[in-house]
Homo-oligomer: A and B are copies of this chain.
Amino acid sequence: MKHLLKMNELTIEEIEQILSEAEQFSKGVQWILPEQTFVANLFFEPSTRTKFSFEVAEKKLHLEVLNFEAETSSVQKGESLYDTIRTLESIGTKAVIIRHPEDNYFETLREKVGIPILNAGDGCGNHPTQCLLDLLTIKQEFARFEGLKVAIIGDIRHSRVARSNAEALTRLGAEVVFSGPTEWHDQSIPYGTYVHIDEAIQTADVVMLLRIQHERHGGATGKNAKDYHEQFGLTVEREKRMKSSSIIMHPAPFNRDVEIASELVECERSRIFKQMENGVYIRMAVLKRALQSVQGGALVCQ
């Protein structure tokens, strides 16, 4: 069973295979299963990018899509996640894509369910397809990871992206540095070092900004948006001091004029919308990987 749950469960070879498949899809290669195949999207938290990106990926692979809405389901009657997945499996679903507010929700499921789970985000835990699309965007730009310096800036502690990206990038040979408010540092991440925001921005090849997650802080951060922007954001001033070949990334949704100056969102260095485009190809690649593991049989490749 080819679940996709956490980045650190993928070998370097598997990561490279997924990136390579995604690049094929970005060039228009098609992969279509010979039989009508159902997948289900289970999103227990709001999402635009990840949800629609998966849905576009699924439809480009000509899969049949079931969009599960937690509010109108039997979860309202107390049904567990395991029983929901078994139900979907019973009616013919071949893979489930899940976003859930609970960290590592999948640990109680991974050995018990009969179909692959693709993790679309768990609490403050993991978000492997986001990490993979970040890697693809970096690889497209620099054609390598070795020797690159990647600065991850902002709310490290509550980010699903920081840890996964730091771990994967380090394994792939890049150097990771962190920057952001001290109270959001996360000393449990065994990769990367903390540096001053100005150093981070001036020396990095990739400036990766993280979103302030208002909905996870319950409004009690005490951070004023303007102050944050001055202290830890990518201001127009700071962008001018970036290296000439460096790029800007952000997993989005972004808070304009907080993490990033509004006029930089679509500037020449920004790869923010490119990341979103790449998200579709990465999700096609991981869906192919998962479905190959359960479907077997001949596949139509064009």
Contacts and interface: CB of A to CB of B under 8 A. Distances in A.
Contacts of A91: 49, 52-53, 56, 276-277, 279-280
Contact of A56 (B49, B66, B71, B77): B66
A92 B280 contact: yes
B48 A90 contact: no
Contacts of A276: 87, 90-91
Contacts of A53: 91
Contacts of A52: 40, 66, 68, 87-88, 91
A69 interface: yes
Contacts of A49: 74, 87, 91
Contacts of A76: 46, 215
Nearest to A88: B52
A43 interface: yes
Interface string A240-270: 0000000000001111100000000010000
A78 B48 contact: no
Contact of A74 (B36, B46, B73): B46
A58 to B, nearest CB: 10
A236 interface: no
Copies of this chain, whole number: 3
Contact of A73 (B38, B47, B73): B47
A171 interface: no
Interface in A82-113: 83-84, 86-93
Contacts of A237: none
A115 to B, nearest CB: 13
Contacts of A84: 48
A27 interface: no
A89 B266 CA distance: 14
Nearest to A283: B91
A55 B43 CA distance: 18
A257 to B, nearest CB: 12
The 9 A-B residue pairs with the shortest CB-CB distance, nearest first, are A90-B276, A48-B74, A46-B76, A79-B253, A90-B273, A48-B73, A74-B253, A90-B277, A59-B64
24 contacts: A36-B60, A43-B72, A46-B71, A46-B73, A47-B73, A48-B68, A52-B87, A52-B91, A56-B64, A56-B93, A69-B72, A76-B215, A77-B215, A78-B253, A79-B253, A80-B256, A83-B252, A83-B253, A87-B252, A87-B273, A89-B273, A90-B273, A90-B277, A92-B280
